[in-house]
Amino acid sequence: MSTGTIILSVLIVVFTFWFNKRFWFPTARTTRPTPATTQPNTKAERGWFWLFLGGIILTTALILGVPYAKNWLKERHHRSTKEKGSSHQRPEYPTSGSGVATKAVPLKCWLDPGRTYVRPMRSSTDETPAPAQYVLVGNPAEYFDDVGPGLNQNHRAWEKMPAGQYLVYPLRDDEIYFRWWK
pLDDT at 33: 55
In tens, the pLDDT along 105-144 reads 999 999 988 888 888 898 888 888 888 888 989 888 878 8
Q: Concatenated DSSP letters for the chain?
A: --HHHHHHHHHHHHHHHHHIIIII-GGGS-SSPPPTTPPPP-HHHHHHHHHHHHHHHHHHHHHHHHHHHHHHHHHHHHHHHHHHHHHHPPPSS-SSEEEEEESSSPEEEEE-TTT-EEEEESSSS---B--EEEEETT-TT-EEES--S---SSEEEGGGPPSEEEEEEESSSSEEEEEEE-
Mean pLDDT of the 3-31 span? 66
pTM of the shown model = 0.49
Predicted confidence (pLDDT) per residue in 26-50, tens digit: 554 555 555 555 555 565 566 677 7
The pLDDT of residue 5 is above 80:
no
How much is the mean pLDDT over the chain? Answer: 76
Burial (CB count <10 Å: 0-12, 13-18, 19+), residue 130: buried
What is the percentage of the chain residues whose pLDDT exceeds 70? 68
Domain boundaries, the chain: 3-31+40-88, 97-181
What whole-number distance in Å separates Cα of residue 159 and Cα of residue 144?
9
